[in-house]
Structure 1
Amino acid sequence: MPTDICFSFTGFACRGGRTDEHRDGWGIAFFEDKGCRVFRDYLASSESPVAQLVQHYPIKSTNVIAHIRKATQGQINLANTHPFQRELWGRYWVFAHNGNLDKLPTLVGKTYQPVGTTDSELAFCLILEKLRAQFDTEPSAEVLFQAVSQHAGELAQLGTFNFMLSNGEWLFVHCTSHLHYLIRRAPFCKAHLLDEDVTVDFAEVTTEQDQVAIIATQPLTDNENWIALMPGQMIGFMNGQVCWQAQTLPETWFEARRQAAKTAA
């Protein structure tokens, strides 16, 4: 069921310059059927008037992607602020990335071009170009998940590639360093934020039919059992539950990491 994210966003926004160093802009996208509301600001989320608006505006959505930025490539401006949005097969796609990618390949197609100068937006365009060339019409979500996992594995070998990708129907998430998730379902209990002294009793604001998956780089609450994703793990969510899983990185990637750790030691 569509739900608002006021509780989670209250803690998440604090990490944009108040409880964490990600103060180079922020953004959030709410899917409503085929429509999508996107709010972005180059100011830190802990200081942004737009973030305060969103925090107190209970927009209900089935899929939400929020991002707070610590710039690695590209200036601090609105064009370089996540999440990024494009159209593919008559639907909006939204993408947000945490990490840094070096030596990305040159775009071959001409349909998707970056507006800003980040590695993140370029990676998004590369994935969309490959999918557009691969499929004439929109395939099933399961087939899409397998295709995106292949492309994600190729790009992840160029750096750190934690990302979220959604078209409003499903949500794909990929990890190379840090990513956690939990699923809230009945019987609901109280949850307490890590970044703010705020507690909500979900039993009072939900029904037994509600089910919500929350995914974040680091856990947002300190009294719930968050599940850590492993490097190279990609998960597909739909209707608040895990539907698909894949390992995107080859064993050679892990062996190179082990050898680098030995050399550093």
Structure 2
Amino acid sequence: MCQLLGMNCNVPTDIVFSFTGFAHRGGRTDTHHDGWGIAFFEGAGVRHFVDHQAAIASPIAELIKRYPIKSTNVIAHIRKATQGQVALENCHPFVREMWGRYWVFAHNGDLKDFAPVLHGPFRPVGNTDSELAFCWLMQSLRDEFGDGSSGTAPSLTQLRSALERLVPQVAAHGTFNMMLSDGTALFTHCSTKLCYVVRQYPFVTARLSDEDLSVDFSQVTTPNDRVAIIVTEPLTTNETWTQFAPGELKLFVDGLPQ
């Protein structure tokens, strides 16, 4: 299946170190070679890059590894196709607008017999179960909280409560490890495999498991910085990663799980 990478921070931070190790799983240290993508929130905007080439061979992935884009919320994905052909429109993460904000979504897993009726403005462009699930989640949230014409949007507490009801309905159809963000926080759900680490003061030197590379974070951070990295498989060999429980939904805000 695919693999996920997410970052949530209390200050804008680059993801170059973690993405470098993650990208190696897109065709070098693992078999996820059916495309990849990454999205960075910056203010109200999103920098969104996708490529149907394997991450290890993609010139765009090389750009990301060398270009330290700083963001407080990032979602990345490397694809091993289970539904939908290898094509640009089927590469995660997917992006939609709702309530005057961009929403970014990526999924690892395989959904069977999942055929919800879509009646609103959200429609898949490609033919993956993942994008269909994203559209249904967006539609369901819009049905519950309105289209935003009142000028208000639900709180994170309200959104979390809604997702705790909606996500199991999707997960009932198969494996649904996912990440979802509107740029203010990062929602994550684990069906089978997801883990996280929080990097904060006192910072240590971290070593990648997929590449001979290490970074002393104490040299590139301040004592007030806090960064949560969420990923399918641990990226480093010398940090303590916390495993999600199956069926667990976590909300990350300012670099901490809620």
Bin for the TM-score computed over the shorter chain? over 0.9
Q: Which residue of 2 aligns with 1:178?
A: 193
Task: Measure the CA separation in 2 of the matches of 1:149 and 1:95.
Answer: 16
Q: Please report how far the alpha carbon of residue 16 of structure 1 lies from its aligned counterpart in structure 2 after TM superposition.
A: 0.2
TM-score by length of 1: 0.91
TM-score, normalising length: structure 2: 0.93
- Secondary structure, aligned partner of 1:117: coil
Alpha-carbon deviation of 1:52? Answer: 0.1
The structure with the larger Rg is: 1
The alignment partner of 2:49 has SS state of strand
In the TM superposition, what whole-angstrom CA distance separates every residue of 1:72-106 from its partner, at most 9, and x where no partner exists?
00000000000000001000000000000011133
Partner AA of 1:60 in structure 2 = K
Q: Distance in 1 between matches of 2:200 and 2:116?
A: 44
One-letter amino acid of the structure 1 residue matched with residue 39 of structure 2: A
Runs of 4+ in 1 over 3 A off after TM superposition: none
Q: CA deviation at 1:148?
A: 1.2
Do residues 85 (structure 1) and 95 (structure 2) align? yes
Query: What are the superposed Cα offsets for residues 199-251 of structure 1, whole Å, 9 maximum, x if unpaired?
Result: 100000000010000000000001000000011001000111112xxxxxxxx
Q: Which residue of 1 aligns with 2:224?
A: 209
More strand by share: 2
Percent of aligned positions with the same letter in both sequences?
56
**1:18-58 deviations in Å (ceiling 9; x for gaps):** 00011000000000011000000000001100000011000
Match of 2:178 in 1: 163
> What does residue range 48-67 of structure 1 map to in structure 2 within 5 Å?
48-67=58-77
Alpha carbon RMSD of aligned pairs, Å?
Answer: 0.7
Q: 1:42 matched to which residue of 2?
A: 52
SS of residue paired to 1:169: coil
Task: State how many pairs are aligned.
Answer: 243
* Match of residue 130, structure 1, among 127, 137, 140: 140
* Aligned position for 2:204: 189
What secondary structure, in the 3-state scheme, does the structure 1 residue paired with 2:56 have?
coil
Instruction: Find the residue that maps to 2:12 and give its secondary structure.
Output: coil
**Unaligned 5+ residue runs, structure 1?**
244-265
- Which of 1 and 2 has higher RCO (CA within 8 Å, sep 6+)? 2
Gaps of 5+ in 2: 1-10
How far apart, in 1, do the equivalents of 2:120 and 2:17 lie?
40
Does residue 29 in structure 1 map to residue 39 in structure 2? yes
Aligned residue in 2 for 1:70: 80
* 1:108 CA displacement: 3.1
SS of equivalent to 2:173: coil
SS in 2 for 1:18: coil
